[in-house]
Structure 1
Amino acid sequence: MSFVKFFPSRVVAIYMSKLFVVRTFAIMAALVMVLQALDLLGQSGKILAVPGNGDAEVWRYVGLRAPQIIAFILPFSVLLGTILTLSTMNQNSEIIALKASGLSAHQVLAPLVLASLVVAIISFAFNDRIVTRATATLNQWQKVDYGPLPIDRGDRSNVWVRDGDDLIEVDQIKGRGAAAMLGGITQYDRSKGNLIAILQGERGTYTGQGWRITNVSRFDVASGKLSKLGDVVIGRNVRPDQFTLASVDADSLSFGALRSAISDLADAGRPTKALEGSAWHKLSAPLSSMLMPLLGAVAAFGLARSGKLFLRAALGMGLGFAYFVADNFALAMGNLGAYPPFLAAWAPFLLFFLIGEAVLVRSEE
């Protein structure tokens, strides 16, 4: 049997796909409006409490928060759209007509699976290009308590690193890796926890064996004297990535940027297991939309007049929500290091795929 013959007729496939897509996005729109309104009730007071903030800032918050809510609610909407579509077709005896024409349960579901694949692709692109940027901007705005949003030029500021007992503070860092440029450097020279001297310099560059600091002045704590030292090399054990690699927020980075950050952290000897799990989850999460027709298919088969249609719909919703619980649990275990990253992201998907297949075969029998 060819791939094309696996699907029902073109008219039926388009009809089912249209029903599924319209219901999915209608449910998503309704849920997003409700959740956005509830979220705004809790945050609007904080936004308007800042002097100078008004309606424009409230709408800015809505524009930044809405993509996060859409990304969160879309898989649930696909599940509910699947159950509503299949239960309606079952109640109207359309599923019985399709099966009477010789179609198997998998062929009946094929249009919905294909449509959900398109939804998954759109979801991945939306998450990768829009949600990550909105999350990064919203996180920065919330750090300043909804005040004036700082301009992000890719630089880092107020960075602290440790060099043995000594502490090094840098006001601003430009660039990355060995090409990083430090500005406003302060080294706190300590011995056994006691502060001995404070060194301050204007600019710093990496020499390969330390950081050359220009125009250094040294304040001796014991004598209280300030002396000029010129150029000094400090931080011989401090690698460039210790300045340029911050704590990586997986939700604020696209898939490609996250993979690049993981590579940099791995080269620097930093732990990356949790971030690797998040990177894999950026692929498995959108693909969960393809599972929803399979998990919700229990609502499609069986006689509607038996009075058990509602129970089958509830079972489909239960399977779908159980998947999301298992997915979050596995991701949490991956973040704790209990599960390998690949297993944490893909195990729930594969497990519920098998469960959905088993329920579908059982329902068909």
Structure 2
Amino acid sequence: MSLLFRYIFLRHARLLLLIMGLGVGIYLLTDIVERVDIFIEAGSGIGLVLQYFGVRLPSIIAQILPAVFLLATVVTLCLMGGSRELTALHAGGISFATVAVILVMCGVFWGVVQFCCSQLLAVQGERYSQQIWQEEVRKKNLDDRTLDDVWFMESGWTVSVKTLRADGEGSGFSAFHVRDGGSDVDVIVRAPRVKGSENGWVAADAVRLYPDTYQRESLPRLELPLHQDPELFFSTESNNLQQLPLWQLGDAINQLGAAGSNVDGLRTVWHGKIAYAVSLVVMAVLGAAIVSRFPNIYIAVAISMAGTFIMYALTMFGESLGQRGALPPFMAAWGPDTVLLLIAVGRLYLVSVRR
């Protein structure tokens, strides 16, 4: 690790942590102002309020880190330019491109931090904060959520549940099994009640029919070879998919895809989790491109804030198009990073040619 890399990395990290603290403070202050009346009406103590916002910190950090990284990059380069450090480096044979590469390496490091934070700490924190908000503040029982007319397919079975609760309890259960490689139904199962989980589904007071032989069986308890997790349906319904870590979301996509569900929206979210972490590398290149054109710190910060807004707008727009099926999931998720990277690289290329 070179002396120049350590110098730039540490200087950039100090600014990043400072800006991060300011950003988190503003975010929390805004959120507290919006929710304080609800906490007071619910009679929540200060301990519960601190617990709620404390467990949300990893999610907030992961969310604002790309914008914070861009601002830290711009300020670092502008301060180095103002103190003639960039001029001295250039005179010593170290080009601006070398400094940009070091910042890209910083982006890789903080991108890994963002990914780990969002997929590990933030996932658990958001789940716990939602539980606090719904059960302790809103006084709701999350297990009482219900869905009507749930359908899925698994292992040759086509399953219908009239009403399904979040805890896996269901009513009005029907299942039809089709022979391997055929289209004929060989088993029909009906039950007034069912209990589903990823470990297996159990029908109570079930009736099993064999259409070929007209045989009928009444069973007080029937275990079925189904492993569909009921919570996945509620995650899809309530748009809580951001709370699933990348590996669990991949499993959910495979399960719901096999069950016949449209998973384009989920694939967009899956790609988006990776693209958002990679955006820190893009921000490093974009910050270098901004300072190469606007070395004044005030102008550069204003341009970087506008660039952050554009990035978030493109991300939301691409995600919306991907979930609607208007764009392929990969293109919808990676489009914003690609557009900003091409613009930034084009600018840096022009600077290198002129020099």
> TM-score if structure 2 supplies the norm length?
0.76
Distance 1:290 1:269 in 2: 37
> What is the Cα-based RMSD across aligned positions, in Å?
3.6
CA distance in 1, matches of 2:294, 2:323: 44
The equivalent of 1:129 in structure 2 is 120
Q: Which residue of 1 aligns with 2:347?
A: 359
Identity %: 22
Amino acid at match of 2:19: I
Q: Which residue does 1:108 correspond to in 2?
A: 99
- Please give the alpha-carbon distance, in whole angstroms, between the structure 2 residues aligned to 1:172 and 1:328: 29
The amino acid across from 1:107 in the alignment is: T
2:48 pairs with 1:57: yes
Alignment of 1:269-280 (within 5 A): 269-280=260-271
- Per-residue CA deviation, residues 300-351 of structure 1 (Å, 9 max, x unaligned), is 44796xxx55434543443343223222221121122111100011121122
Q: Which amino acid aligns with 2:264?
A: K
Post-superposition offset of 1:156? 8.3
C-alpha change, 1:105 and 1:213, in structure 2 (3 Å) is: same
The answer to whether residue 324 in structure 2 is matched with residue 332 in structure 1 is no
Name the counterpart of 1:247: 234
Q: Where in structure 2 are there 5+ consecutive unaligned residues?
A: 152-157, 175-189, 208-216
Are 1:30 and 2:18 counterparts? no
Question: Residue type matched to 1:258 in 2?
Answer: L
**Deviation per residue, 1:178-198 (Å, 9 max, x gap):** xxxxx574679xxxxxxxxxx
2:330 matched to 1:342?
yes
CA distance in 2, matches of 1:211, 1:32: 47
- Name the CA distance, whole Å, in 2 between partners of 1:215 and 1:266: 28
Query: What is the one-letter code of the residue matched to 1:295?
Result: L
Asked if the contact 2:166–2:231 (Cα under 8 Å) also holds between the matched residues in 1, the reply is no
Q: Which runs of 5+ in 1 are unaligned?
A: 5-9, 175-182, 189-198, 217-228
Give the greater-gyration-radius structure (CA). Answer: 1
Q: 1:20 aligns with which of 12, 20, 28?
A: 12
Whether the aligned pair in 1 keeps the contact of 2:111 and 2:279 (CA below 8 Å) is yes
- Determine the C-alpha separation between the residues in 2 that align with 1:95 and 1:205: 63
Offset of 1:48 from its aligned partner? 2.7
Q: Counterparts of 2:79 and 2:234 in 1: how far apart (Å)?
A: 49
Q: Is the 8 A contact 1:161 1:243 kept in 2?
A: no
1:70 correspondence with 2:64: no
Matched, 1:41 2:33: yes
Cα 1:16–1:287, aligned 2, differ >3 Å: closer, same or farther? same
Cα distance in 2 for partners of 1:55, 1:330 equals 39
Match of 1:161 in 2: 149
- SS of the residue 1:327 aligns to: helix
Asked if structure 2 preserves the Cα contact closer than 8 Å seen for 1:90 and 1:303, the reply is no
Tell me, yes or no, if the aligned pair for 1:65 and 1:134 is still in contact at 8 Å: yes
Alignment correspondent of 1:287: 278
Between 1:327-336 and 1:91-100, the stretch displaced more is 327-336
- Residues 157-306 of structure 1 aligned to structure 2 (within 5 Å): 158-161=146-149, 168-170=162-164, 173=167, 185=171, 212-214=203-205, 231=219, 241=228, 245-248=232-235, 249-301=240-292
**C-alpha separation in 2, matches of 1:162 and 1:292:** 43
Aligned-pair CA distance for 1:352:
1.3
Q: Distance in 1 between matches of 2:314 and 2:16?
A: 23
CA distance in 2, matches of 1:303, 1:201: 70
Partner of 1:219: none
Q: Residues 182-233 of structure 1: CA distance to partner in whole angstroms, max 9, x if unpaired?
A: x574679xxxxxxxxxx99566689xxx9743299xxxxxxxxxxxx97489
AA of the residue aligned to 1:359 = R
Secondary structure (helix, strand or coil) at the match of 2:149 reads: strand
CA distance in 1, matches of 2:333, 2:30: 30
Cα distance in structure 2, aligned partners of 1:286 and 1:205: 35
Q: Secondary structure at the match of 2:233?
A: coil
